[in-house]
Structure 1
Amino acid sequence: MKISKIKDFFVSVEVIPPLRGHSIDEIYKVVDKIAPFNPAFISVTKHPAELEYYEVDGRILKLPKVRRPGTMGIVAALKMRYDIDVVPHLTCIGNSKFELEELLIDLDFIGIDNVFVVRGDKKRNVIKKDGQYEYAYQLVEQIFNMNKGKYLYQNAKKTDFCIGVAGYPEKHFESPNMTEDIKYLKRKIEAGAKFVITQMFFDEKKYIDFVERLKKENITIPIIPGIKPITSYKSAKKLPGTFFIDIPEKLLEDLREAKTEKEEFFVGIRHTIKMIEKLREYGIPGIHIFTMSKPDPVLEILKNI
């Protein structure tokens, strides 16, 4: 199933791999609860290796380690266990173009139809690889070429990936302004992207304004809103510093006035449901919910929509 060709309103979810050394059962516990709602697809995030310090035999060693490994294993396991389309994240940072080609060949072998391309965060301790792309559009071009049978150094079997990329209703924090940010998004689409999943936002007007600006640039591929339920005042205060997004004043005030954690939870859920209803009135293709490995907020939303 190609995400770009889904006609009816759909719900999809994102999961993150468990921490190194933890069990995939952590993922199953989340998806087991969500699967009965028939999500259109499940996306799985990817994390690059970072340099960390370890004491080994009295010596301090600096070693590469992925905090949340197993993305591709989880993709295969979810596909087999639930018979649901699974979408792996592919990151430029931390992967060479040669490694990415091999990874794409493996994904083609196991029948993956859709991939989601991101540049990745430029953290100071992330290991940079030779042959690593600097921009997401470069990886989109590589995949688009593989779909035409053009591999890095040979012509071979055509793949058939539907390529998704990220969009930012409040602009990427590195972009000087929204106009510049949309130029980068347009470049990814011109390179071959067929759908967009947005960064989280908490005011439907941000998404609507974003899409209207894209229409003026003749961008008509599906723009899928990324939804993150806020369920506590603490998380509402923390999110802007991590994801560079705004929290509406009314939502923050309502969370602050809640007397218990349960009240906070339902304040956030009601806000999310109301926002989704307004988005559906506008005419969104579907919603993509970031689970953050917490199924309860997602279930509450799914029950109500």
Structure 2
Amino acid sequence: MKISQIKDFFISIEVIPPLRGHSADNLYKAIDKIMPYNPAFISVTKHPPELEYYEIDGQILKLPKVKRPGTMGIVAALKMRYNVDVVPHLTCIGNSKFELEELLIDLDFLGIDNVFVIRGDKKKNVIKKEWQYDYAYQLVQQISDMNKGKYLYQTAKKTNFCIGVAGYPEKHYESPNLKTDIKYLKRKIEAGAQFVITQMFFDVEKYFNFVKLLRDEEINVKVIPGLKPILSYKSALKIPGTFYVDIPEELIEKLDNARTPKEEFWTGVKYTIKLIEKLKENNVPGIHFFTMSNTDAIVEILKHI
């Protein structure tokens, strides 16, 4: 089902593929715990290849390596295993537009209804492909064209993808300000994006303010709040530097005052439940959980909501 057409409140989760050489069994075990709560969809992250040095036959070679391969394999496996809508992340960085066209044709064969488009992080050692897009709106436009039967270099039937993009209640770290960031988001919507999943946030007012600013700009698509429970004081200190978001003083103090890891865990769970209660009171379309493929805290939250 297209995410843009879901009418009732829903929950959904994001998972990451296992590290290279690892089994998907732990991922399945984590998702098994969530399935009794009927997630509307599961999104799967994509990781571009990065250049690393290897010694092979006495030579030092710089070769591409994907640390978390198998996104498309995981997408197919989850769809067949759980009979649930699965949403693959599509990244501009690390893919040429021609590779993306072939990938989208394969996803159409698989019966994938929804895709999530991001530019991807600009890391020094990530390989830049020829014919690679610089901005997410360009890939959104390509998918929109495919939905109309317009391909880059081949003839095929029309696709029917519902396209999602990322939104940043506290702005993307590269944007000079929130207003400019919303201008970039509007460009993605105008190119054909039909829903937004936000970056994680820990203050509901930032989400409400963000949605108001979008509506003022006549951006009227679903804006799905993305949440990640913070389960330790240590992780609370790391998250701002990794995801460029603020942690409220109230949460930091509660985590700092917790005497055991178990108390920290429950502090994070209870804080997230309160966030969700406030969001539901304001009729959000659903809640999207960033799980990092660990769903124990999410299950405890879902028991209460």
TM-score bracket for this pair, using the shorter chain length: over 0.9
Residues 1:10 and 2:6 are matched in the alignment: no
Residues 1:108 and 2:119 are matched in the alignment: no
Number of residue-to-residue matches in the alignment: 305
Aligned equivalents of 2:155 and 2:245: distance in 1? 43
Aligned equivalents of 1:181 and 1:280: distance in 2? 26
TM-score for both structures, normalised by structure 2: 0.99
Q: Which amino acid aligns with 1:164?
A: G
Q: Which amino acid aligns with 2:40?
A: A
Q: Secondary structure at the match of 1:219?
A: coil
Superposed, 1:118-267 pairs within 5 Å as 118-267=118-267
The answer for unaligned runs of 5 or more in structure 2 is none
- The structural deviation recorded for 1:14 is 0.3
Runs of 4+ with >3 A deviation: none
Aligned equivalents of 2:55 and 2:203: distance in 1? 47
Residues 1:95 and 2:126 are matched in the alignment: no
Aligned equivalents of 2:293 and 2:55: distance in 1? 31
Aligned equivalents of 1:55 and 1:228: distance in 2? 39
Q: Which amino acid aligns with 2:264?
A: E
- The structural deviation recorded for 1:283 is 1.4
Q: Which amino acid aligns with 1:123?
A: K
- The structural deviation recorded for 1:155 is 4.3
Residues 1:295 and 2:295 are matched in the alignment: yes
Who is 1:83 aligned against? 83
TM-score for both structures, normalised by structure 1: 0.99
Q: What do residues 183-239 of structure 1 show as CA deviations (whole Å, max 9, x unaligned)?
A: 000000000000000000001011000001111011110000001010000000000
Aligned equivalents of 1:301 and 1:95: distance in 2? 37
The answer for unaligned runs of 5 or more in structure 1 is none
Q: What do residues 142-169 of structure 1 show as CA deviations (whole Å, max 9, x unaligned)?
A: 0000000000024430000000000000
Aligned equivalents of 1:99 and 1:153: distance in 2? 11
Identity of aligned residues (%): 75
Aligned equivalents of 1:155 and 1:282: distance in 2? 45
- The structural deviation recorded for 1:26 is 2.0
Aligned equivalents of 1:280 and 1:142: distance in 2? 35
> CA distance change for structure 1 residues 61 and 180 in 2, over 3 Å: closer, same or farther?
same
- The structural deviation recorded for 1:24 is 1.2
Q: Which amino acid aligns with 1:125?
A: N
Q: Which amino acid aligns with 1:246?
A: D
Q: Which amino acid aligns with 2:86?
A: V
- The structural deviation recorded for 1:60 is 1.8
Cα-Cα RMSD: 0.7
Q: What do residues 57-111 of structure 1 show as CA deviations (whole Å, max 9, x unaligned)?
A: 3332111000000000000000000000000000000000000000000000010
Q: What do residues 224-271 of structure 1 show as CA deviations (whole Å, max 9, x unaligned)?
A: 000101000000000000000000001000000000000000001111
